[in-house]
Amino acid sequence: MALLPSLFDFCYTSIVLAFALVVAWRYFCDKSIELSWHMAAVVTSLPVCYLFTDSIGILAFALICVIVYECLPVPHLDIEDKAVLITGCDSGFGHAAAKHLDSLGFQVFAGCLVKGGKGEQQLINNCSGQLTTLQLDVTKQEQIDEAFNVINKKLDGKGLWGLVNNAGIISMCNVELLPIHVFQKVWDINCLGGIRMIKKFLPLIRKSKGRIVNLSSVAGRLPFAGASAYCVSKAGLEILSDVLRQELVDWGVTVSIIEPSGFQTDIAEKDKLEVIYRNVMDGVNEEIRTSYNIEDYSAKVEDKLNKNEMIDRSLYCPDLSLVVDVILDALLSTYPKSRYPIGQGSKTIMWSANHLPSVILDLVYLVISTDLLYVQPKRVR
């Protein structure tokens, strides 16, 4: 019994010293970190946990130290003259990221699908002269090659620090009803588009030992009924990122995945989803009508189209800065994460997907997927 207090004191002292060392190291890496409340939490919890002279007290204090450490800001690299290429800057995350990174001092290359479009004009009018817009359709190799030539010339021998693969589209409807060409288009943009960009620009990124940031989605790891093409394409982007992270580690290039859960962007705007809906309805035959509630589905969609509200935007987060912040962290953090789940409930959703039984998850996903215009089957009697 005499050994117990000494062992207990040793464990406590070890935890305190280890925590103090890692916090001090983090602080000296970034002198701007405010440590007041972090240290207050540890100092306050130390005597409280010490009252439990057993493993409970040790574990409680160790957990508090871990939580406080995780809350510490991660040191960021200096921006200096770092150059970043972002695709899909016409609107949404890409547009917001291009504006914010430009305001911080990055040399931004903003790829826009529509030359002379509203998104490009806003960037030209509202950003510094250091930002360069490029016409960039990630499905067209000639435009990617032209963008590479422009960027390589402007960099004048420097490397490209960051590539943010953001361009993407969404789809809707059941696998059986969705035309193959829609699957191909979504895959071509969301996954192959990122592959084309990476293959072309990797030599410039290797030169600077830079960063690749791929905009995926929680749908890349979760199966939502009615979003098959989108889920498949984002799942492909996820596994691509995991493979690249292993292949590029020796080059000093890091790969991060951003996984938003639900934000108000133009990816699901009315005109884009209406085109997919018309394609679905063109392929409906008698067998499909006898198997699915096509009439109910069609009436629901037509009503949404008439009201100009294909989706209920109130269900989605309007604050795109949350995603922009994690893009910035992936680009500048001294220790970028491999994955950044972001948005309401994203981390809970990911945890549930990894731990709950499929029979429960399938029921939950079917309920969630009603907003994605999943077509209900006719019940077999």
Catalytic residues: 230
Phi, psi values for residue 61, rounded to 5°:
-70, -40
Query: Please, what is the Cα angle at 148 between 143 and 150, to 5 degrees?
Result: 95
The beta-carbon contacts of 192-196 under 8 Å, at least 24 apart in sequence, are 192/139, 193/87, 193/138, 193/139, 193/165, 193/167, 193/168, 194/138, 194/165, 194/237, 194/240, 195/240, 196/138, 196/139, 196/141, 196/144
Cβ–Cβ under 8 Å, residues 61 and 45: yes
CA distance 315 to 7: 53
At 8, the amino acid letter reads F
Query: Please, what is the Cα angle at 151 between 146 and 153, to 5 degrees?
Result: 100
- Pick the closest to residue 106 from 142, 131, 69 (CA basis): 131
CA distance 365 to 299: 23
Structure tokens at 238: 């996820």
Crossing angle of the two packed helices 270-282 and 294-306, in degrees rounded to 10 = 150
At 214, the amino acid letter reads N
CA distance 114 to 82: 26
4 three-class SS = helix
Structure tokens at 294: 């096509």
- Pick the closest to residue 73 from 328, 341, 321 (CA basis): 328
Which alpha helices (DSSP H) does the chain contain, by range? 3-29, 36-50, 55-71, 92-104, 118-126, 141-155, 180-187, 193-208, 228-247, 270-282, 286-291, 294-306, 321-332, 346-355, 358-368
